Each structure stands twice: as C-alpha cells, then as structure tokens.
C-alpha cells in the first residue's frame, strides 16, 4: 500500500509501515505546514492513504466532498499507543484501506467507513 504520513502522526508509524514494505512519504519532508486540503489532494493524486491524528480531514471529506484514497485516523490516541493501533488496523483492514475506506481507531474501538 501507499501511505502519506501527516506531521502529527509522527515518524515511528511511517518507519514501521516502510519496514513492512509499504511505499511511505512524509508530509514534513515536502512542507511541514502544508494545509490539510493540500495533503488530501496530494494523497489522492498519488493514491495514498493518509495517516493522521487530525480530525479536520473529516470536514473536508464528509462536508465539503473532497476526494480521497483512504485514511487512517487515530482519534485521541496517546503517542505510545499509536503504533500498536496502526499495526492492528493494517492487519485487520488492509483490503478496506486499499479500497479507499476511512478507518478511525481509538483506544476503545475501530470504525470503518467504506466507500
């Protein structure tokens, strides 16, 4: 899979995904202050799944109807728990992510919104 790691998601998640053989790019390398709308457009243009903590992407997708290629959103997850949750999400929902789903993970549940 191809991923785009938002600045707020951190390096560790991207490094792990890369070690698993995924194609990973980091927003911080291109522009650490990139607007969410630009991140979403970049990810869509390259068919990348955005990994983020930021809830503003929901407004862009569900309210403004912006196109996307899938997303992992970690909702109120402490930094120490993020990698384990991403590992779970990728293991359990790889097909959903490949098909453009938005997977929101928290400490208590994982929600999948399929296209």
pTM of the predicted structure, to 2 decimals: 0.95
What's the CA gap between 83 and 19, in Å, rounded?
13
Tokens found for residue 40:
């979403």
DSSP-based three-state secondary structure for 4 = strand
What's the CA gap between 68 and 61, in Å, rounded?
7
pLDDT digits over 13-45, tens only? 999 999 999 999 999 999 999 999 999 999 999
Judge contact between 67 and 56, C-beta under 8 A. no
Considering only CA atoms, which of 74, 89, 66 is closest in space to residue 6? 74
* Whole-Å CA distances, 5 to 32, 63, 108: 11, 23, 23
Burial of 115 (C-beta count, 10 Å sphere; 0-12/13-18/19+): exposed
Task: Determine the Cα angle at 44 with ends 104 and 40, to 5°.
Answer: 60
pLDDT digits over 37-78, tens only? 999 999 999 999 999 999 999 899 999 999 999 999 998 899
């Amino acid at each position: 899979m191809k991923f785009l790691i938002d600045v707020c998601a951190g390096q560790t998640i991207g490094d792990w995904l890369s070690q698993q053989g995924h194609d990973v790019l980091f927003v911080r390398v291109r522009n650490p202050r990139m607007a969410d709308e630009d991140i979403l457009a970049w990810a869509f243009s390259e068919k990348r799944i955005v990994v983020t903590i930021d809830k503003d992407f929901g407004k862009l997708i569900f309210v403004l109807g912006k196109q996307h290629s899938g997303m992992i959103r970690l909702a109120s997850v402490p930094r120490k728990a993020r990698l384990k949750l991403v590992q779970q999400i990728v293991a359990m929902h790889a097909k959903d992510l490949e098909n453009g789903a938005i997977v929101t993970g928290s400490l208590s549940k994982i929600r999948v919104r399929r296209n």
